[in-house]
Structure 1
Amino acid sequence: MPIYFYNPNALLWLWLVPAAAGLFLYAAVRRKQAIRAFGAGALFISRKREAAGSYLAIALVVLALAQPAWDLQEQKLQETGRDVVFLLDVSRSMLAEDMHPNRLENAKTAILDCVETLSGDRVGLVLFAGSAEIRCPLTVDYDYFRMALRQASPNSIAAGGTMIGHAVERTLEKLLDPANAGMQDLILITDGEDMVDGPDEVEAVKKLADAGVRFIAIGIGDRARGSRIALEDEESGARSFMKHGNTEVWTKLHAETLRRMTAAVPDGIYFDVANGPFDLARIYRQIMENAERASTDSQVMERYEEKFHLFLGGAVIVLLAANRWRRRT
């Protein structure tokens, strides 16, 4: 019967068995020397059987830590989930520091926290500025999604500026599937600045409604005073602020644009987080509490049944028995 170990690295701790044997031999020699010093009539207690039981118990505990398993079991899995696409603004204005350390890093952290709470949902990532690019197609490989998100920066998109309407339309065209109408969500995270002429944002989100896509907009950034856009020289590390001519550029949250977009669709939802902390995971969880979920293809998972408890129980029995084996000679 083959034995499978789920944690084979734990077997490296088997070196404790010969190490314990070496310590026992050293201690036995020292005890005999001490007895000879006392002279005839001194009582000697033999611990050979007790020691052997300890070695065996250590070996059994190490084997238990390695998570031994056998008896192959088959389990049929049927998962349900939704398609969640994050549409992230990576334009230069997202480097504004009215949120620490800046708007973009806050948005990325919020998305990562949100993904941690998902189970069975497919996630996708689209980055946009003056154009839009799909950086992660819909997938359940959350590790790949996290990698793509961590690499997101203003340098991810060649074209500068911001075209929200174009980004929405491209996401709908390339990533969302009309066959999954009612079970898809588009989460837009942006400061709302639309600096380049392009498709109208309101008309773009209306197409989402026609395709059965729920639209959620998150507005970030100071909407009153605004903030300068910090820049850092890659070679020297020197910091400066973006300028238009000789005037420093200040950027604010354009909440009106996002409110008009969400108001244009029946299920549109807008969260104005401004420059405060926000928990995207909690927001999305509340919105999706009673949402419809699609069934994915069933999968058969094969897994060996873990038997580590047998080894732990054996270790306890051996230690108890070894303690009773101690005899006087």
Structure 2
Amino acid sequence: MSFFAFQNPALLVLLAIWIPVGWLIRRAALRRLHAGRKLGGSTLPSSKWRDRLRLFALLLLLLAVARPGISPRRHSVTQSGRDVVFALDVSQSMLAQDAFPSRLEAAKNGIRDALDSFRSERVALVVYAGSANILCPLTHDYEFVRYMLDQATPRTVDFGGTTLLSATEKSVDNVFESERKGMQDLVVLTDGEEHGDQNQRVAEPLKETETGLLIVGIGDPTSGSRIPIESDSEEPTVLKHEGQVVITKLNETGLRELARLSDDATYISAGTSAFDLAGEYSRYAFDKPSAGTSGGETYVVYREVGPLLIAIALAALLAGELAKWFSSNRQASRGAFSVRPDATPPASLIVFVVSLSFSCIARGEDPAALSPFDQAIALQRDGKAVDALEIYGTLHSDSALTPAQASVVHFNEGLCHLSVAAEQAEADPRQALSQARIAQIRFLEACRMNSNFKRAAMQLDPTATLITEYIAQIEEEDERQQQLQQQMQDLLKLLEELKENQTELRESVPGRPSRNSRSKNQQQEKTPPDTVDAKTESQQFMQTQKNLHQEGVSIREIMQSLDQSLANPDAEQSSDSAISKRSNEPPEVSVLQEPLRLMDEAVAAQYSAIGKLQQRSTWPESRDQQLIAIRKIQEIIEMLSSNDSSDSDEGEWDDEADYDEMMEASESEEAMMSSMQGQGDFASGSAMQPLPVPNYSVEDILMEEQGSLQFRQQQRAKSNQANVEKDW
């Protein structure tokens, strides 16, 4: 590694233009001399110096383009250290003031002291109470960790309580990296209340991931302390439960039990006194392995000489132009002050040189970071925000970035996250909300690194408004899903009632006689015509069947309306222009296509049964049609409630008598089979229809699964919140 080097040596070929430029300047000087002699004049001595200064300035500019550098410095890309996640208990019991000024502030001060002693460790911050939130992922930016630590309060989590299991699962699943197993530590700062029942479950994931555990117990383990709460009144207010003042104590027994169950765990009882978390962690992590070695991958940064060369070139050009200006004035002034029009310095040349100098300075400011930054800016302008984010992510590890440059990187990264959120807002508002919250954090980081960065500060309010809109959109979507589920449950109830009523009517209609009775009747005379009682029963059966048919038609309309809501959830809010525009598009795929088809067959069978109930002789055929309707309705119920299909009661209609009736070879049976064939061939109707070709990618599947995971986590958090009796 030499003391001096050209960082763009390929650009030294531009020195070849210096020779023809010098020849042109020399030729122009000779022609001026020849023309002056013909006119009886003489050549100014300053012109020779001016030409020489111009050639000298051109040489310096050509050398500056090649970016000469001196005093090289070698920087390491990798840093050795462990991953440390601080799990901070922010439950209301941590507001107790037995430790100064409170348990929570004492824990924060301990984390701040540890951050002051860290050099190459990656640090993350997780807060927990009844649930857990990640305030800061693993990072080397300790200033940002301190900033997020100041924001940690009992309101940072969704609901109160004390559940270390949630913080452990959040850290293991979403913070720690599997490839760094054995080089990760979880530092828990808590008063230890209500941990005893879940100690075994807390220790299991830590054992599986080979994660170290350092527990710091804060609080008075004997007499305890009351919990102050905020109140509008001037008098201090303490937390009460069922009319009794809550006294919180340090649960040393539970914390020691947790340390005993874990393989690599240490418990420290800080009590109510100050503690040195930096020293305790240094002793705990002594001789433990760390990831990587310093200097494994390095890059060299030279101190730029180009700006100095550009400044000298500008001074030479300015000196040449001033010498020409003064010389021309002395020759032109004869008793009166006059200036030749062409004696002023050429402004275009100065502008060109200044712009070239600024370009060279910008290019030579940070060779390790600006080239990827330019690529990210180009991708961002082209609308490729995801690709730009990947490049911005690599710039955070560059230690050569100044705070002003780092703030610009965070600002542009926030804009990219907002672009991604805008693209995902309609399809997946939960993903859009996550992107918007990340953008808000990036803007806060930019403001923290550069307090005068007004553009980043101006983005905070619109981003907060956007987050509120996404939250409202998600709540609206959840409410719509609940309404659809309720409508589906109501539909199932209507189908169950229709099936029961249809089954009851079928059982009340007399069926065909058995085989023995039929053989006896064949030897006797034919059946006498219908009596008055038979006609009355027929009228009653027909009226009841008509009512059931009307119910089936109504249920079919409800199914169709529900199907339209599932296929096009925003149909009610669409304008006329949007509707006319969608009219030219292909129709939406019907979600309830198969249940609707079965319902059409069931309604058709009900209608056929009405006609066959007019005469007593066709009552058996009407029973067959009723059986078809019952079975179709049952299939619909099984489709709509797939999880409960095993609980469906088939005994109401699938009995031996009905089976014998359907298997008999009679004229009514042949009529029934012919009517079934009229609805479609059995083989073609039962054949499996081809599935549509999927039009989604792997990324779509992963995003959908991530959204589902977030939804399940929210639902689990809500259910856990309902079971919390003691929220401190």
TM over 0.5: yes
Return the alpha-carbon distance in structure 1 between the equivalents of residues 97 and 147 of structure 2: 24
Equivalent residue number for residue 71 of structure 1:
70
Aligned match for 1:277, one of 274, 277, 290: 274
Offset of 1:200 from its aligned partner? 2.0
1:194-236 deviation digits (Å, cap 9, x = unpaired): 28x9x82322222112211111111111000000001233x66
Return the alpha-carbon distance in structure 2 between the equivalents of residues 87 and 107 of structure 1: 10
Equivalent residue number for residue 201 of structure 1:
199
> SS state of the match for residue 294, structure 1?
coil
Equivalent residue number for residue 227 of structure 2:
229
Matches within 5 A, 1:278-293: 278-293=275-290
1:89-126 deviation digits (Å, cap 9, x = unpaired): 00000000000110000000000000110111100000
Equivalent residue number for residue 63 of structure 1:
none
Equivalent residue number for residue 654 of structure 2:
none
2:288 matched to 1:295?
A: no
Unaligned runs of 5+ in 2: 5-68, 305-728
1:106-148 deviation digits (Å, cap 9, x = unpaired): 0000000001101111000000000000000000011111100
Return the alpha-carbon distance in structure 2 between the equivalents of residues 202 and 95 of structure 1: 27
Residues 301 and 151 (structure 1 numbering): CA distance in 2 closer, same or farther, change over 3 Å? farther
Return the alpha-carbon distance in structure 2 between the equivalents of residues 136 and 76 of structure 1: 26
Return the alpha-carbon distance in structure 2 between the equivalents of residues 225 and 279 of structure 1: 24
Return the alpha-carbon distance in structure 2 between the equivalents of residues 104 and 129 of structure 1: 12
> SS state of the match for residue 185, structure 2?
strand
2:214 matched to 1:216?
A: yes
Return the alpha-carbon distance in structure 2 between the equivalents of residues 117 and 237 of structure 1: 41
The letter of the residue matching 1:180 is R
Aligned match for 1:245, one of 242, 246, 252: 242
Is the CA contact 1:165–1:202 (under 8 Å) kept in the aligned structure 2? no
Equivalent residue number for residue 130 of structure 1:
130
1:268-315 deviation digits (Å, cap 9, x = unpaired): 11111111211100101111221111017735363649xxxxxxxxxx
> SS state of the match for residue 165, structure 1?
helix
Is the CA contact 2:125–2:134 (under 8 Å) kept in the aligned structure 1? yes
Residues 251 and 302 (structure 1 numbering): CA distance in 2 closer, same or farther, change over 3 Å? same
Offset of 1:163 from its aligned partner? 0.8
> SS state of the match for residue 87, structure 1?
strand
- Could you say which structure has the larger radius of gyration? 2
Offset of 1:150 from its aligned partner? 1.0
Return the alpha-carbon distance in structure 1 between the equivalents of residues 302 and 224 of structure 2: 55
Return the alpha-carbon distance in structure 2 between the equivalents of residues 158 and 285 of structure 1: 33
Equivalent residue number for residue 178 of structure 2:
178
Return the alpha-carbon distance in structure 1 between the equivalents of residues 272 and 112 of structure 2: 18
Residues 156 and 71 (structure 1 numbering): CA distance in 2 closer, same or farther, change over 3 Å? same
Return the alpha-carbon distance in structure 2 between the equivalents of residues 202 and 237 of structure 1: 44
Is the CA contact 2:199–2:261 (under 8 Å) kept in the aligned structure 1? no
The letter of the residue matching 1:201 is N
Return the alpha-carbon distance in structure 2 between the equivalents of residues 301 and 94 of structure 1: 49
> SS state of the match for residue 285, structure 1?
helix
Equivalent residue number for residue 143 of structure 1:
143
The letter of the residue matching 2:155 is N
Is the CA contact 1:84–1:185 (under 8 Å) kept in the aligned structure 2? yes
Is the CA contact 1:96–1:103 (under 8 Å) kept in the aligned structure 2? yes
Equivalent residue number for residue 471 of structure 2:
none
Equivalent residue number for residue 66 of structure 1:
none
TM-score (norm 2): 0.31
Offset of 1:260 from its aligned partner? 1.2
Return the alpha-carbon distance in structure 2 between the equivalents of residues 85 and 184 of structure 1: 8
2:101 matched to 1:104?
A: no
Provide runs of 4+ in structure 1 moved above 6 Å: none
2:251 matched to 1:254?
A: yes
> SS state of the match for residue 159, structure 1?
coil
Equivalent residue number for residue 264 of structure 1:
261
RMSD of aligned residue pairs (Cα, Å): 2.2
The letter of the residue matching 1:173 is D
The letter of the residue matching 1:90 is V
Return the alpha-carbon distance in structure 1 between the equivalents of residues 228 and 112 of structure 2: 24
1:2-40 deviation digits (Å, cap 9, x = unpaired): xxxxxxxxxxxxxxxxxxxxxxxxxxxxxxxxxxxxxxx
Equivalent residue number for residue 33 of structure 1:
none
Matches within 5 A, 1:21-60: none
Is the CA contact 2:192–2:254 (under 8 Å) kept in the aligned structure 1? yes
Residues 303 and 152 (structure 1 numbering): CA distance in 2 closer, same or farther, change over 3 Å? farther
Matches within 5 A, 1:144-159: 144-159=144-159
Residues 111 and 303 (structure 1 numbering): CA distance in 2 closer, same or farther, change over 3 Å? farther
Q: Would you tell me which structure has more helix in proportion to its own residues?
A: 2
Q: Would you tell me which structure has more strand in proportion to its own residues?
A: 1
Is the CA contact 1:122–1:139 (under 8 Å) kept in the aligned structure 2? yes
> SS state of the match for residue 257, structure 1?
helix
The letter of the residue matching 1:92 is Q
Equivalent residue number for residue 54 of structure 1:
none
Is the CA contact 1:164–1:194 (under 8 Å) kept in the aligned structure 2? no
Return the alpha-carbon distance in structure 2 between the equivalents of residues 303 and 95 of structure 1: 52
Return the alpha-carbon distance in structure 1 between the equivalents of residues 128 and 100 of structure 2: 21
TM-score (norm 1): 0.67
Is the CA contact 1:90–1:104 (under 8 Å) kept in the aligned structure 2? yes
Residues 274 and 301 (structure 1 numbering): CA distance in 2 closer, same or farther, change over 3 Å? farther
Equivalent residue number for residue 87 of structure 1:
87
> SS state of the match for residue 204, structure 2?
helix
Deviates most, 150-159 or 100-109: 150-159
The letter of the residue matching 2:167 is A
Equivalent residue number for residue 416 of structure 2:
none
1:222-259 deviation digits (Å, cap 9, x = unpaired): 000000001233x6665311111321111000111111
Aligned length: 234
Offset of 1:179 from its aligned partner? 1.2
Return the alpha-carbon distance in structure 1 between the equivalents of residues 147 and 235 of structure 2: 28
Higher relative contact order, structure no. (Cα contacts within 8 Å, ≥ 6 residues apart): 1
